[in-house]
Structures are given as C-alpha cells and as structure tokens.
Structure 1
C-alpha cells in the first residue's frame, strides 16, 4: 500500500466504488473454484522453480527478508529492536517509496531529491541507506496521478503516448526523471528491486493496461541501456479481492492484461494484507459496511493465483507489502479493517491469527517465494492512515480504513516469535 502515492480509499474513490457496484456481476467459474478449493493454501511444494531472468535472486533457495516502509519506521526498528538485541537478525533489505510527477511541481522523486512526508512517515533515501549499509533496497515507484482525475499523464508520458494532456516536452521531461532515478539507484551499489507502478491493478491507482505495460517496458529498456545491472524489475499485483471498473479480478485474463512480458519482468510480486484464516477479525463489520467493502472472492485465492502465474512464467515471487491490518500490537486490540470498532485480543491470538498464517504461507510456497517485505509501522499514528473510533473508511476522519499498529517491537511476545521465525536458516538477513 503506500505511501508516497495516492491513498488506497480516498473519498473520491469511495464515490467511484459506489458507482461501480451496479456493474459488478457474479464471480467467474474460476474464481468460484478458487474460493471452494483454497488452491495452494496449506500444501507445501518442495521442488524449487527453475527461474528464468532472475536478477538479484538469493542463493541456495533462500528467502530475503526486507523491512519497511518509511525512514522514520526504519529508524525506530533499528533503535528499539536491533540495537537492543544483538542477536535479532538485521533485515536483508529495506523498502522505501518515490514517485515520478511533473517536474515543475514539488514532489518529483520525492524522498530522493528532498525529504518527503505525505502523511505516511518521512522518507529520506540517503538517511535510510546510511543506517542500513549493504542492505538491498526495494523501491515502490509511483507513476500514477490518482488525485488528478486519473488522466495517467506520468504513465502515458513515460510510455511515449502524445495527446490528451501529454506533449513531446512532457515525454522528454518524465523520461529524464526516469534516468535520474535509475542513475541514483545504480550508484547505490546494492541490490535494488524496482516495483514499477506497484499494485498496478489496485483501482485506487487507476492504471490503464496498455499505457502501463508500455511505460514498464520503457523503464526496463533504460535499465538495460544504462547497464544498471543491480536493478531488478518487479511487477506487483494488489491481490485485491473485488471487481471494480476495469479491474475485473475474476476474469480469466485479468493478470495477462497487465503483464508487460517475460523479457522485461524479473520478479512477480503481490500484497498480502488480507487473509482467510483471520477473516473473523478483519471483516467482522461486513454487515455495517457498504457492499463494495466486502470481498467478492477469497483473498487467499487471489494470492494463490498470482503464485501460480509466477510459476507458469518461471519468475521468483516477492511479497512486497504485508502487515496484520486491523491488529494493534501495542494496544492488543483488533478491529474491522474498514470500520474502527475494536475489541481486546491477546498477543498470542494476534500471532496465531495473522503471523503464523503468513509465515506458514511463505513456507508452503518456498518453491517460488524468494523475498518478503514486512511493513513494521504504527499506521494509526500517521495522518494518512488514522481512523477515528467508530468511523468508516471514506469519512473525513478515516480516509483509509483502520490499519492499527504492526510494529513487532511494540509487544515482547510478538517480537520474540518474530525473531524465532526470521532466525531460521531459510531467510537472508543483513550483517
């Protein structure tokens, strides 16, 4: 989700989603089958996939652990966890965000050229790279303009599409920004995972398939032209469990419509905020929410589908965004993800409900999952993610829904269990 980009469920999107309800139809047969079977869940696959074009792939079939997702969060984790326990493994990588925008406006390459805070924590690439020397870097690159009427000017300019607000000058300007970003990442002298237009099929980002694919391909071509061989391209699905507008996730060809091609995609990726085993916590307010807040298909079936896609295309998988949405590790409470109505919950229950399921899913699919990024932040303390008690997503005091507090160091039991998991030899940690 994140962060230096358009909010996940802004009020404008709430209105659009309401309008889209009338066009939502029943799930396709494939989605129904996924719901019934829970394909892939709980079944461990032992043989590793023979990956093709797998840049920055961890050796010996290991899985890289990354932590994120803003500089403040990373500093807190270093000070409150890593520096207090010399035996706590350091992350093998960190995640940060930036965006391409009109260079005449403040915000282009935010966090790289200047410090930035969109209400989701300060991002300062130089600071975080200094604090985690040698760590890999996963970059969420926003090339959308969800707050500007979804005209997709940055995406279309990068793709080289003239017209409808995009001039030749715009194309030159935006493409110059791409080169500036790539040179910066190349000179970082570390492994970089560039998540181009991350969550491409999240309706809140409003990417259009053809311009998105063309922009993605252009960026990969520039990586090659600059010989920036430390940069791997990452294609990240939101794994969103609803049909909305052009994002018909139950359509058989949904992923194929957005896929730029095997020759330009190094990694397939997904977000894993929601699940099935903890539905009783995250979605207990379904009856109170509008219809479009309720999953149309099983969240896990969407995640499984992306893993299957990656296996078929012989691509390694990165879980690029993950956090126990609606669970507060500091307050020991749980609430609905779209309506802030909390109740007490034990730390053991939080662990067994979300964390154990997440780590089990990674283990069960270690043939293809080779990197995982955990978002270790107090969402509720950040303006973009704050949700007032009893408020519902889309309201002025609850723009994004209830995200709570996913900091593992906020609770001793959860930190202890987290340490046990990431200390297992399967994970690649930092030094």
Structure 2
C-alpha cells in the first residue's frame, strides 16, 4: 500500500485555512451584531398580561422575549414550605407560586401585547427530579410540555432545560441530568415541532470541567447560556465552551444582585453594574446573541428575602430607566418593535432534529459545517483525511473480489480515508459494485460518515 499524502495535505490545509474563523450559528439565533433582549422573571415583575399590568412591559417597553420558569417535580416541598402538586407542570398552564412571585407561562401567550415575543421557558428539575425524568416516571409532564409548545406554534420557544446545571442548590446528578435533558429534547423532536430551540445553561460560576461532565451532547442543544451577576469571572467557562462548540450565547439571567434601587445612588449603580454589564456584552459580541434582564423586587419574595438580592425593578429608578432605554435604542439590541421573529428565521417549516446545527445540517453554510466536522474529528480521523492509498497489484485485488466487500475497506481504513487510488480494467458493472461497497463503508459505517474520494486521471478515461 502506498501513501499519497503530499498533494492531499497541501490542498486540504489550503482549504481549511481559507475558511478563516468559524461562524457561530444556532437555531433561532439572530445574525452577528444583533442581540435579543428578554425580561423576567415572574408575572408581576414582567407585566403585560391581563392580570399584571405594572411590570417591565408596561413601564419600560415590550422586549424581544419573556423569561419564565416551570417545575418538573411532583409532591416535593421546598424549604419555603411550598409544595408541588402531582400530575402537571407547575407554572405552565395556570398560575402558581413557589416563593418567587406568581408564575404562569400561558398568561404571556394569551396576551396580545406580547404577540411578537420569543418565549424563554426555563425548566427546573430541583428536588431530585432529574432521575424521574430520565427513567420515564415523568413522561406525563414531558407530554404536557410537548402539547403546550405544539398548541402555541405561533411563538418560538428557547427551552432552557435544567438551568444552572452546576448549581449546588440543584444537586443534579450528571448522568441522570444528561439522560433527562435528552429525553425531553427527543420527545419534542418526535412531535416534529418547528417552534423550539434548546439551551444548555450554567450558573455564573461554573467550572470548565462541569460543562464537560453535564454535557448531554452538542446535538441536543442550540445555545449555551449562563447567569451574570457582575462578578469579574461570571460566565467565563460558558463563553469558552460556547466558542469551542460554536454555539451562540444567551445571558439567560442578569441583574444587579445585592443592589437596592430605591436606597442607592442611581448614577453610581449605572457606573458600576450596568456599565460593566454592557462592556461584558461588547467584549464578547462574537458569541452573545441574547440577554435577559431580571426585573424583580427580590426582597419582597420569600425565596430571596434576607439574602441580599436587592430590588432591581428599572421602573422604580427614573435615571436607570432612562439610561436603559438609551442603550436599548442602540442598533444591536433587538426588542419587539424590531420584529425579532424575522431576524431569527421564524416561522420555519423545518423541525428540530439531532442533525440541527451539526455538519449534517444542509441548511447551514459550508463554512459552519466544516468547522463543526473538524471539531468532532479525532487526530486519527484528521490524519486519515490527509492520506490516500493505492495497491498496484490490481489483478490480485480483482481476482480475490474483496474490493466489492465493505469489510475490505474497514480493515484497511478504520478511521476513514481521504482518497482511494485507481483500479483499472474493470467493467462498468464492477465499477458500480466497487463504488457501492466503498461508500457503504465510508458513509454508513464510519463514525462520522465522511465519504471517500475515488481518484484516477483523465488520461485513463476517468472523466
């Protein structure tokens, strides 16, 4: 067997270098330079519904999206003495309260004021529920979620499953977390839904290894997210991970934690927290595509009272509200008036699949697909793509007949191959048989399914 590496190495390297830096892509992500703005986190803080009309929406404006929370748990009582009933997803179809303000996702979708808003639906599995989701015990809750998303097909959903996966307060088991995440995504995909994307999100202080330990597989999520409270290193691991897997970033929760707007100097608040927040966005504009401001009176809610979370409702501080609106008027920030659905490619007829966002997704650019494929390849697979082989003993190969069996190529090319050298003096029928065997193995039986190039020269009639 002869290795034909020099021309292949040169041409492949030239192609790879010509691509430049990889593009950040993701389902329902706006174009580079555009950032979706969300507001959360409880119905009273957000407003804009029939029952609650004095929140962010009513006093600041309608954002591009709404951040909301639901619980996948049954019969569990949290430390604030709130119990979760059996048989339904808490906070999805009707109002509930678990010590963090009123929660009702359906109220937002029933509001005509919010008909241009993306829904950021965050699923908690607190109370050791990830194991019950993973083993199928909570399939009825998953079914309720699937039906809900299906029934509201006129809105896109960013679904943040098991948010803040690394948080000690959640105590998620990594194995069960990954299985639960996959089970929820697979159920949504099995329903052929076209109006959802998924978010894999940490807390503010996740460690790099935790992103690896809890990762359900990049094919299961479209975005990477994190919470940002103002720390110098908030979100660093998430940002590094997102760049590695080429996914857009969602700052899924952000608020001036520990600041009471009515008690402190507003200009000082702006110069410290808000200036730092927008600088953080600017410094990471290559990946950040969405932010969510948590507009809450934390101290008024039992879950946060006494823990120094503060009061961060923008409408209570005129100067902060004015400066926030000035920032929101900048071209990069997308609110409802900028028609976010158009920017994110919604509606779409294409359901999400495990191919979405991967190198097998034909809707992506060639550059994005190549970048994703290279990221997945092992060193052995990369080397194999830079090599080729040709056995000059053609008569023996034809006589043995092994070239018509896919296992022949499996034995010689376990990691794939860049190109196969010529075999002459075959009939048309033999050419077809060999070609079928070659691609049967390389496209269907290798790990990544990269086809092999069959090489010959025009001088031999190979046209």
TM-score bucket of the superposed structures, by smaller chain:
0.5 to 0.7
What are the residue-to-residue correspondences of 1:65-84 with 2, within 5 Å? 65-75=37-47, 79=54, 83=58
SS at match of 1:179: helix
SS at match of 2:256: coil
Q: Does 1:106 align with 2:85?
A: yes
Shift of the alpha carbon at 1:80? 5.9
> Which residue number in structure 2 is paired with residue 380 of structure 1?
299
What TM-score results when the alignment is normalised by the length of structure 1?
Answer: 0.67
> Which residue number in structure 1 is paired with residue 181 of structure 2?
216
Q: Does 1:50 align with 2:23?
A: yes
> Which residue number in structure 2 is paired with residue 206 of structure 1?
171
Q: Does 1:92 align with 2:92?
A: no
Q: Does 1:123 align with 2:116?
A: no
What per-residue deviation string (whole Å, max 9, x for no partner) do you get for residues 82-112 of structure 1? 556xxx5520000111111237961641122
SS at match of 1:98: strand
Shift of the alpha carbon at 1:81? 5.9
SS at match of 2:175: helix
SS at match of 2:335: strand
> Which residue number in structure 2 is paired with residue 17 of structure 1?
none
What are the residue-to-residue correspondences of 1:144-223 with 2, within 5 Å? 144-145=126-127, 152=128, 154-160=129-135, 171=136, 173-188=137-152, 189-223=154-188
Alignment equivalent of 1:365, drawn from 277, 284, 287: 284
In structure 2, relative to structure 1, the CA distance for the partners of 1:48 and 1:99 (3 Å cut) is: farther
Alignment equivalent of 2:239, drawn from 296, 307, 324: 307
What TM-score results when the alignment is normalised by the length of structure 2?
Answer: 0.62
Instruction: Check conservation: 1:49, 1:367, Cα contact below 8 A.
Output: no
Q: Does 1:269 align with 2:225?
A: yes
Alignment equivalent of 1:427, drawn from 308, 333, 336: 333
The structure, 1 or 2, with the larger RCO (C-alpha pairs under 8 Å, 6+ apart) is 1
What are the residue-to-residue correspondences of 1:130-141 with 2, within 5 Å? 130=111, 131-141=113-123
Alignment equivalent of 2:255, drawn from 306, 312, 323: 323
Alignment equivalent of 1:416, drawn from 322, 327, 330: 322
Per mean C-alpha deviation after superposition, the further-off stretch among 410-419 and 186-195 is 186-195
> Which residue number in structure 1 is paired with residue 417 of structure 2?
none
Q: Which runs of 4+ in 1 moved over 3 A?
A: 76-84
> Which residue number in structure 1 is paired with residue 272 of structure 2?
353
SS at match of 1:185: helix
> Which residue number in structure 2 is paired with residue 339 of structure 1?
none
Higher-Rg structure is: 2
Alignment equivalent of 1:237, drawn from 179, 183, 202: 202
In structure 2, relative to structure 1, the CA distance for the partners of 1:83 and 1:384 (3 Å cut) is: closer
Instruction: Check conservation: 1:347, 1:413, Cα contact below 8 A.
Output: yes
What are the residue-to-residue correspondences of 1:394-405 with 2, within 5 Å? 401-405=307-311
Shift of the alpha carbon at 1:199? 0.4
Instruction: Check conservation: 2:32, 2:286, Cα contact below 8 A.
Output: no
Instruction: Check conservation: 1:217, 1:264, Cα contact below 8 A.
Output: yes
Instruction: Check conservation: 1:234, 1:266, Cα contact below 8 A.
Output: yes
Gaps of 5+ in 2: 1-19, 77-83, 338-463
Shift of the alpha carbon at 1:118? 1.1
Instruction: Check conservation: 2:42, 2:100, Cα contact below 8 A.
Output: yes
RMSD: 2.2
